[in-house]
Amino acid sequence: MVADELPPFEALTTLVGTRRVHPLEPADPATIGPYTVLCRLPRGGQGADVFIGRTDEAAALVVIKCLPADAGELTRRRFAREVENAARIKSPRVARIVAQDLEAASPYYVQEYIQGLPLDEFLAQRERGGLNAEELRRIAIGLLRALRDAHAAKVVHRDVKPGNIIISDKGVFLVDFGISRYLGTEHAVGTVTSVLAGFGSKLFASPEQLQGLPLTEASDVYSWGMVIAYAAGARHPVDPDDELSPADYWLELRAGRIDLAPVPHNLLDSVTHALRFAPERRPSLSELARDVEQSTRWLGQTSEIPSPRTVLGDFRSFDAVFEGARYHLSRLERAIADTSTGYAAAIGAAVLLGMVVGLALAVLYHVVLG
Protein backbone atom coordinates (compact mmCIF):
# COMPACT_ATOMS: atom_id res chain seq x y z
CA MET A 1 0.00 0.00 0.00
CA VAL A 2 1.09 3.52 -0.74
CA ALA A 3 1.32 5.77 2.33
CA ASP A 4 -1.99 7.34 3.19
CA GLU A 5 -0.75 10.93 3.11
CA LEU A 6 0.40 11.93 -0.33
CA PRO A 7 3.16 14.53 -0.56
CA PRO A 8 1.96 17.96 -1.70
CA PHE A 9 1.31 18.58 -5.35
CA GLU A 10 4.20 20.75 -6.46
CA ALA A 11 2.75 21.72 -9.78
CA LEU A 12 -0.69 22.18 -8.30
CA THR A 13 0.14 24.52 -5.46
CA THR A 14 1.18 27.32 -7.80
CA LEU A 15 -2.43 27.74 -8.84
CA VAL A 16 -4.00 27.69 -5.41
CA GLY A 17 -5.84 30.88 -4.60
CA THR A 18 -6.83 31.62 -8.19
CA ARG A 19 -10.19 29.96 -7.90
CA ARG A 20 -13.02 31.62 -9.80
CA VAL A 21 -15.42 33.45 -7.46
CA HIS A 22 -18.24 35.85 -8.18
CA PRO A 23 -19.03 39.18 -6.48
CA LEU A 24 -22.09 39.34 -4.26
CA GLU A 25 -25.42 40.21 -5.86
CA PRO A 26 -27.44 43.18 -4.50
CA ALA A 27 -30.07 40.92 -2.92
CA ASP A 28 -27.51 38.78 -1.09
CA PRO A 29 -27.45 38.93 2.71
CA ALA A 30 -24.42 40.59 4.36
CA THR A 31 -24.36 38.01 7.12
CA ILE A 32 -25.71 34.49 7.57
CA GLY A 33 -25.90 33.44 11.21
CA PRO A 34 -22.59 34.47 12.79
CA TYR A 35 -20.78 34.53 9.43
CA THR A 36 -19.92 37.56 7.31
CA VAL A 37 -20.46 36.81 3.64
CA LEU A 38 -17.51 37.68 1.38
CA CYS A 39 -18.27 36.43 -2.12
CA ARG A 40 -20.17 33.87 -4.12
CA LEU A 41 -19.25 30.51 -5.60
CA PRO A 42 -21.15 29.02 -8.56
CA ARG A 43 -24.68 28.01 -7.57
CA GLY A 44 -25.12 24.48 -6.28
CA GLY A 45 -27.81 21.93 -7.06
CA GLN A 46 -31.40 22.53 -5.81
CA GLY A 47 -30.99 26.26 -6.51
CA ALA A 48 -28.99 26.77 -3.33
CA ASP A 49 -26.77 29.84 -3.05
CA VAL A 50 -23.17 29.14 -2.19
CA PHE A 51 -21.08 31.78 -0.43
CA ILE A 52 -17.64 32.09 1.05
CA GLY A 53 -17.63 33.69 4.46
CA ARG A 54 -15.95 33.82 7.88
CA THR A 55 -16.78 34.81 11.43
CA ASP A 56 -14.02 37.41 11.83
CA GLU A 57 -10.81 38.61 10.20
CA ALA A 58 -8.63 35.98 11.84
CA ALA A 59 -10.97 33.03 11.37
CA ALA A 60 -10.62 30.45 8.64
CA LEU A 61 -12.77 30.77 5.54
CA VAL A 62 -15.87 28.63 5.27
CA VAL A 63 -18.30 27.73 2.51
CA ILE A 64 -21.92 28.51 3.35
CA LYS A 65 -24.62 26.77 1.38
CA CYS A 66 -27.95 28.48 1.82
CA LEU A 67 -31.43 27.80 0.48
CA PRO A 68 -33.62 30.75 -0.54
CA ALA A 69 -36.42 31.52 1.93
CA ASP A 70 -39.09 30.60 -0.65
CA ALA A 71 -37.75 27.07 -1.18
CA GLY A 72 -40.43 24.36 -1.22
CA GLU A 73 -40.87 21.55 1.26
CA LEU A 74 -39.29 18.92 -1.02
CA THR A 75 -36.21 21.07 -1.63
CA ARG A 76 -35.84 21.61 2.10
CA ARG A 77 -36.06 17.90 2.76
CA ARG A 78 -33.43 17.18 0.09
CA PHE A 79 -31.24 19.85 1.55
CA ALA A 80 -31.56 18.33 5.00
CA ARG A 81 -30.66 14.95 3.55
CA GLU A 82 -27.59 16.40 1.86
CA VAL A 83 -26.42 17.72 5.24
CA GLU A 84 -27.21 14.40 6.88
CA ASN A 85 -25.28 12.42 4.25
CA ALA A 86 -22.28 14.73 4.22
CA ALA A 87 -22.16 14.63 8.05
CA ARG A 88 -22.09 10.81 8.01
CA ILE A 89 -18.81 10.77 6.16
CA LYS A 90 -15.75 10.98 8.34
CA SER A 91 -12.91 11.51 5.93
CA PRO A 92 -9.91 13.79 5.53
CA ARG A 93 -10.81 14.01 1.84
CA VAL A 94 -14.33 15.29 2.22
CA ALA A 95 -15.03 18.83 3.44
CA ARG A 96 -16.27 18.72 7.05
CA ILE A 97 -19.53 20.32 8.08
CA VAL A 98 -18.79 22.80 10.85
CA ALA A 99 -22.21 24.30 11.52
CA GLN A 100 -25.79 24.11 10.34
CA ASP A 101 -29.18 25.67 10.92
CA LEU A 102 -31.91 23.86 9.06
CA GLU A 103 -34.73 25.50 11.05
CA ALA A 104 -33.92 29.06 9.90
CA ALA A 105 -36.12 30.84 7.34
CA SER A 106 -33.33 30.29 4.82
CA PRO A 107 -31.77 27.03 6.00
CA TYR A 108 -28.00 26.86 5.67
CA TYR A 109 -25.05 24.73 6.52
CA VAL A 110 -21.39 25.59 6.77
CA GLN A 111 -18.48 23.54 5.45
CA GLU A 112 -14.77 24.13 5.80
CA TYR A 113 -13.31 25.92 2.78
CA ILE A 114 -10.88 23.84 0.75
CA GLN A 115 -8.10 26.07 -0.56
CA GLY A 116 -7.70 24.84 -4.10
CA LEU A 117 -9.10 24.60 -7.58
CA PRO A 118 -11.86 22.44 -8.98
CA LEU A 119 -10.50 19.96 -11.52
CA ASP A 120 -12.26 21.58 -14.48
CA GLU A 121 -10.80 25.02 -13.72
CA PHE A 122 -7.43 23.42 -13.10
CA LEU A 123 -7.51 21.77 -16.54
CA ALA A 124 -8.71 24.98 -18.19
CA GLN A 125 -5.67 26.81 -16.83
CA ARG A 126 -3.32 24.34 -18.45
CA GLU A 127 -1.84 25.53 -21.74
CA ARG A 128 -1.57 22.09 -23.27
CA GLY A 129 -4.41 19.75 -22.46
CA GLY A 130 -4.33 16.87 -20.06
CA LEU A 131 -2.34 16.01 -16.98
CA ASN A 132 0.89 14.11 -16.83
CA ALA A 133 1.03 10.58 -15.54
CA GLU A 134 2.03 11.53 -12.00
CA GLU A 135 -0.70 14.14 -11.54
CA LEU A 136 -3.22 11.75 -12.99
CA ARG A 137 -2.09 9.04 -10.58
CA ARG A 138 -2.53 11.37 -7.59
CA ILE A 139 -5.97 12.42 -8.68
CA ALA A 140 -7.01 8.84 -9.46
CA ILE A 141 -5.87 7.55 -6.07
CA GLY A 142 -7.08 10.59 -4.09
CA LEU A 143 -10.52 10.36 -5.65
CA LEU A 144 -10.69 6.63 -5.03
CA ARG A 145 -9.89 7.20 -1.35
CA ALA A 146 -12.50 9.94 -1.01
CA LEU A 147 -15.09 7.67 -2.62
CA ARG A 148 -14.01 4.78 -0.43
CA ASP A 149 -14.62 6.89 2.68
CA ALA A 150 -18.03 7.97 1.37
CA HIS A 151 -19.02 4.40 0.53
CA ALA A 152 -17.79 3.21 3.91
CA ALA A 153 -20.45 5.53 5.38
CA LYS A 154 -22.93 3.95 2.94
CA VAL A 155 -23.32 7.16 0.95
CA VAL A 156 -23.27 7.12 -2.86
CA HIS A 157 -22.20 10.51 -4.20
CA ARG A 158 -24.00 10.22 -7.59
CA ASP A 159 -22.53 13.47 -8.92
CA VAL A 160 -18.81 12.83 -9.23
CA LYS A 161 -17.65 15.34 -11.84
CA PRO A 162 -14.64 17.64 -12.30
CA GLY A 163 -16.49 20.60 -10.75
CA ASN A 164 -16.93 18.66 -7.51
CA ILE A 165 -13.32 17.57 -7.21
CA ILE A 166 -11.10 20.12 -5.53
CA ILE A 167 -7.36 19.85 -6.00
CA SER A 168 -5.50 21.41 -3.12
CA ASP A 169 -1.96 21.29 -1.82
CA LYS A 170 -3.13 18.69 0.70
CA GLY A 171 -4.55 16.32 -1.88
CA VAL A 172 -7.82 15.68 -3.64
CA PHE A 173 -11.14 16.57 -2.01
CA LEU A 174 -14.64 15.56 -2.95
CA VAL A 175 -17.39 18.13 -2.35
CA ASP A 176 -21.11 18.68 -2.97
CA PHE A 177 -23.19 15.81 -1.72
CA GLY A 178 -26.24 17.57 -3.15
CA ILE A 179 -27.77 14.51 -4.81
CA SER A 180 -26.04 11.86 -2.75
CA ARG A 181 -28.00 8.92 -1.38
CA TYR A 182 -27.74 6.92 1.79
CA LEU A 183 -27.79 3.18 1.11
CA GLY A 184 -28.61 2.04 4.62
CA THR A 185 -32.07 2.16 6.12
CA GLU A 186 -33.45 5.58 5.40
CA HIS A 187 -36.61 7.42 6.39
CA ALA A 188 -39.31 6.94 3.81
CA VAL A 189 -39.50 10.66 3.02
CA GLY A 190 -37.72 12.24 0.10
CA THR A 191 -35.61 9.39 -1.17
CA VAL A 192 -36.18 9.95 -4.86
CA THR A 193 -33.60 12.05 -6.67
CA SER A 194 -33.00 10.47 -10.02
CA VAL A 195 -32.93 13.86 -11.74
CA LEU A 196 -29.60 14.99 -13.12
CA ALA A 197 -28.41 18.12 -11.41
CA GLY A 198 -28.08 20.70 -14.12
CA PHE A 199 -25.91 21.30 -17.13
CA GLY A 200 -22.98 19.04 -17.90
CA SER A 201 -23.75 16.47 -15.23
CA LYS A 202 -24.91 13.93 -17.79
CA LEU A 203 -21.33 13.81 -19.08
CA PHE A 204 -20.12 12.00 -15.98
CA ALA A 205 -23.24 10.07 -15.08
CA SER A 206 -23.33 6.29 -15.37
CA PRO A 207 -25.64 4.66 -17.93
CA GLU A 208 -27.95 3.38 -15.21
CA GLN A 209 -28.19 6.91 -13.83
CA LEU A 210 -29.22 8.21 -17.28
CA GLN A 211 -31.88 5.51 -17.32
CA GLY A 212 -33.17 6.47 -13.89
CA LEU A 213 -32.43 3.04 -12.43
CA PRO A 214 -31.50 2.50 -8.77
CA LEU A 215 -27.87 3.39 -8.15
CA THR A 216 -25.20 1.54 -6.24
CA GLU A 217 -21.53 2.17 -5.54
CA ALA A 218 -20.80 0.94 -9.08
CA SER A 219 -22.30 4.15 -10.40
CA ASP A 220 -19.62 6.22 -8.64
CA VAL A 221 -17.01 3.80 -10.02
CA TYR A 222 -18.21 4.60 -13.54
CA SER A 223 -18.03 8.34 -12.87
CA TRP A 224 -14.51 7.86 -11.54
CA GLY A 225 -13.49 6.22 -14.83
CA MET A 226 -15.07 9.01 -16.83
CA VAL A 227 -13.38 11.73 -14.75
CA ILE A 228 -9.96 10.10 -15.16
CA ALA A 229 -10.46 9.66 -18.92
CA TYR A 230 -11.50 13.32 -19.10
CA ALA A 231 -8.58 14.55 -17.01
CA ALA A 232 -6.08 12.56 -19.08
CA GLY A 233 -6.91 14.43 -22.26
CA ALA A 234 -8.64 17.57 -20.89
CA ARG A 235 -11.41 16.58 -23.27
CA HIS A 236 -14.54 14.59 -22.65
CA PRO A 237 -14.05 11.09 -24.10
CA VAL A 238 -17.58 10.71 -25.45
CA ASP A 239 -19.10 14.10 -26.09
CA PRO A 240 -16.41 16.81 -26.05
CA ASP A 241 -18.78 19.64 -27.04
CA ASP A 242 -21.71 18.55 -24.85
CA GLU A 243 -24.00 18.49 -27.86
CA LEU A 244 -25.65 15.06 -27.61
CA SER A 245 -29.06 14.59 -26.04
CA PRO A 246 -29.07 12.30 -22.97
CA ALA A 247 -30.65 9.52 -25.09
CA ASP A 248 -27.98 9.77 -27.80
CA TYR A 249 -25.32 9.99 -25.14
CA TRP A 250 -26.64 6.81 -23.56
CA LEU A 251 -26.42 5.11 -26.97
CA GLU A 252 -22.78 6.12 -27.27
CA LEU A 253 -22.07 4.61 -23.86
CA ARG A 254 -23.97 1.47 -24.74
CA ALA A 255 -21.98 1.05 -27.97
CA GLY A 256 -18.75 1.62 -26.05
CA ARG A 257 -17.77 4.64 -28.13
CA ILE A 258 -15.52 6.09 -25.45
CA ASP A 259 -12.26 7.55 -26.69
CA LEU A 260 -9.61 6.36 -24.25
CA ALA A 261 -6.63 7.32 -26.45
CA PRO A 262 -5.23 9.98 -24.06
CA VAL A 263 -5.32 7.66 -21.01
CA PRO A 264 -1.77 6.50 -20.15
CA HIS A 265 -1.42 2.76 -20.51
CA ASN A 266 -0.71 2.13 -16.84
CA LEU A 267 -4.20 3.40 -16.02
CA LEU A 268 -5.90 2.06 -19.12
CA ASP A 269 -7.00 -1.25 -17.66
CA SER A 270 -8.46 0.31 -14.53
CA VAL A 271 -10.33 2.96 -16.52
CA THR A 272 -11.58 0.40 -19.04
CA HIS A 273 -12.89 -1.84 -16.26
CA ALA A 274 -14.52 1.06 -14.43
CA LEU A 275 -16.28 2.11 -17.63
CA ARG A 276 -17.98 -1.22 -18.24
CA PHE A 277 -21.58 -0.72 -19.22
CA ALA A 278 -23.09 -3.30 -16.86
CA PRO A 279 -22.71 -2.14 -13.23
CA GLU A 280 -22.20 -5.69 -11.95
CA ARG A 281 -19.16 -6.14 -14.20
CA ARG A 282 -17.36 -3.08 -12.82
CA PRO A 283 -14.68 -3.67 -10.21
CA SER A 284 -15.23 -2.60 -6.61
CA LEU A 285 -13.45 0.48 -5.31
CA SER A 286 -10.95 -1.62 -3.37
CA GLU A 287 -10.09 -3.72 -6.44
CA LEU A 288 -9.73 -0.55 -8.45
CA ALA A 289 -7.53 1.09 -5.80
CA ARG A 290 -5.30 -1.97 -5.68
CA ASP A 291 -4.99 -2.09 -9.48
CA VAL A 292 -4.22 1.61 -9.77
CA GLU A 293 -1.64 1.50 -7.00
CA GLN A 294 0.06 -1.57 -8.45
CA SER A 295 0.10 -0.39 -12.02
CA THR A 296 1.42 3.06 -11.10
CA ARG A 297 3.83 1.98 -8.40
CA TRP A 298 6.87 2.94 -10.44
CA LEU A 299 5.79 6.57 -10.39
CA GLY A 300 7.13 7.18 -6.89
CA GLN A 301 8.66 10.57 -7.57
CA THR A 302 7.03 13.65 -8.98
CA SER A 303 7.62 13.43 -12.67
CA GLU A 304 7.01 15.90 -15.45
CA ILE A 305 7.50 13.19 -18.04
CA PRO A 306 4.19 12.45 -19.68
CA SER A 307 3.54 8.81 -20.28
CA PRO A 308 2.62 8.60 -23.95
CA ARG A 309 0.56 5.71 -25.17
CA THR A 310 2.43 3.56 -27.65
CA VAL A 311 1.04 0.91 -29.96
CA LEU A 312 3.25 -1.64 -28.22
CA GLY A 313 2.03 -0.53 -24.80
CA ASP A 314 -1.57 -1.01 -25.89
CA PHE A 315 -0.85 -4.57 -26.98
CA ARG A 316 0.48 -5.51 -23.57
CA SER A 317 -2.97 -5.99 -22.20
CA PHE A 318 -5.59 -8.23 -23.71
CA ASP A 319 -8.42 -6.14 -22.30
CA ALA A 320 -7.06 -2.98 -23.88
CA VAL A 321 -6.71 -4.68 -27.28
CA PHE A 322 -10.22 -6.04 -26.98
CA GLU A 323 -11.71 -2.69 -25.95
CA GLY A 324 -9.76 -0.90 -28.69
CA ALA A 325 -11.01 -3.32 -31.33
CA ARG A 326 -14.55 -2.95 -30.01
CA TYR A 327 -14.29 0.82 -30.13
CA HIS A 328 -13.07 0.85 -33.73
CA LEU A 329 -15.56 -1.77 -34.89
CA SER A 330 -18.45 0.13 -33.38
CA ARG A 331 -17.24 3.32 -35.08
CA LEU A 332 -17.09 1.44 -38.38
CA GLU A 333 -20.55 0.08 -37.82
CA ARG A 334 -21.90 3.55 -37.17
CA ALA A 335 -20.11 4.99 -40.20
CA ILE A 336 -21.71 2.35 -42.43
CA ALA A 337 -25.16 2.52 -40.86
CA ASP A 338 -25.47 6.29 -40.39
CA THR A 339 -23.54 8.04 -43.17
CA SER A 340 -23.82 7.69 -46.94
CA THR A 341 -20.09 8.43 -47.34
CA GLY A 342 -19.24 5.56 -45.05
CA TYR A 343 -21.63 3.29 -46.91
CA ALA A 344 -20.16 4.31 -50.32
CA ALA A 345 -16.63 3.74 -49.02
CA ALA A 346 -17.64 0.32 -47.72
CA ILE A 347 -19.10 -0.60 -51.14
CA GLY A 348 -15.87 0.52 -52.78
CA ALA A 349 -13.87 -1.59 -50.34
CA ALA A 350 -16.12 -4.60 -51.03
CA VAL A 351 -15.58 -4.24 -54.82
CA LEU A 352 -11.80 -3.95 -54.35
CA LEU A 353 -11.72 -6.94 -52.05
CA GLY A 354 -13.84 -8.89 -54.56
CA MET A 355 -11.37 -8.03 -57.33
CA VAL A 356 -8.43 -9.24 -55.27
CA VAL A 357 -10.13 -12.46 -54.21
CA GLY A 358 -11.39 -13.09 -57.80
CA LEU A 359 -7.86 -12.60 -59.10
CA ALA A 360 -6.40 -14.93 -56.48
CA LEU A 361 -8.99 -17.59 -57.29
CA ALA A 362 -8.22 -17.26 -61.02
CA VAL A 363 -4.49 -17.71 -60.36
CA LEU A 364 -5.26 -20.76 -58.24
CA TYR A 365 -7.50 -22.10 -60.99
CA HIS A 366 -4.72 -21.75 -63.60
CA VAL A 367 -2.12 -23.32 -61.32
CA VAL A 368 -4.31 -26.30 -60.50
CA LEU A 369 -5.87 -26.93 -63.93
CA GLY A 370 -3.26 -25.36 -66.19
Catalytically annotated residues: 159
- Rule CB under 8 A: is residue 58 a binding residue for another protein? no
DSSP string, 171-188: EEEE---TT-EE-SS--S
Three-class DSSP category at 210: helix
At a CB cut-off of 8 Å and minimum separation 6, what does 348 contact? none
Determine, following the binding rule CB under 8 A, whether residue 129 of this chain makes contact with another protein.
Answer: no
Among 30, 58, 247, 367, binds another protein (CB under 8 A): 247
Alpha helices in the chain (DSSP H): 10-13, 73-88, 119-124, 133-152, 207-210, 217-233, 246-254, 265-274, 285-295, 311-314, 318-338, 340-369
Q: Is 328 in the site for another protein (CB under 8 A)?
A: no
Output 113 or 249, the one with its CB closest to another protein. Answer: 249
Instruction: Tell me the C-alpha to C-alpha distance, in Å, between residue 181 and each of 92, 194, 224, 234, 248.
Output: 20, 10, 17, 29, 26
Write down the least CB distance from residue 350 to another protein, Å: 4
Identify the DSSP state of 47: G
Taking CB under 8 A as the criterion, the residue among 7, 129, 212, 240 binding another protein is 212
Answer yes or no whether residue 329 interacts with another protein by CB under 8 A: no
Answer for which of 8, 72, 92, 246 binds another protein (CB under 8 A) is: 246
Please report how close the Cβ of residue 212 comes to another protein at its closest, in angstroms: 7
d(CA 124, CA 79): 30
Kindly tell me which residue out of 18, 125, 211, 284 binds another protein, with binding defined by CB under 8 A: 211
**Residue of 101, 82, 83 whose CA lies nearest to 33:** 101
Would you count residue 92 as binding another protein (CB under 8 A)? no
Map residues 181-210 to x or -, x wherever contact with another protein holds by CB under 8 A: -----------------------------x
Among the listed ranges 38-46, 142-150, 297-305, 355-363, the one in contact with another protein (CB under 8 A) is: 355-363
The contacts of residue 80 (CB under 8 Å, 6+ apart) are 102, 107
Nearer to another protein, 77 or 334 (CB): 334
354 near another protein, judged by CB under 8 A: yes
DSSP of 107-163: -EEEEE---EEEHHHHHHT-SSSS--HHHHHHHHHHHHHHHHHHHHTTEE-----GG
**271 Cβ neighbours under 8 A, 6+ residues apart:** 225, 228, 229, 260, 263
Under the binding rule (CB under 8 A), the answer on residue 59 touching another protein is: no
Applying CB under 8 A, does 152 fall inside the site for another protein? no
What CA–CA distance (Å, rounded) separates 172 from 175?
A: 10
Of 104 and 359, the one with the shorter C-beta distance to another protein is 359
**Segment contacting another protein (CB under 8 A): 166-174, 223-231, 241-249, 321-329?**
241-249
From 83, 68, 131, 152, select the one nearest 267 (Cα to Cα): 131
CB nearer another protein, residue 298 or residue 365: 365
Single out the residue of 250, 269, 289, 292 in contact with another protein (rule: CB under 8 A). 250
Closest by CA position to 282, among listed 225, 205, 322, 234 = 225
Q: Which of 187, 254, 316, 328 binds another protein (CB under 8 A)?
A: 254
Q: Which is nearer to another protein, 125 or 211 (CB)?
A: 211
Q: Please report whether residue 347 would count as binding another protein according to CB under 8 A.
A: yes
Residues contributing to the site for another protein (CB under 8 A): 210-212, 246-248, 250-251, 254-255, 333-334, 336-338, 343, 346-347, 350-351, 353-355, 357-359, 361-363, 365-366
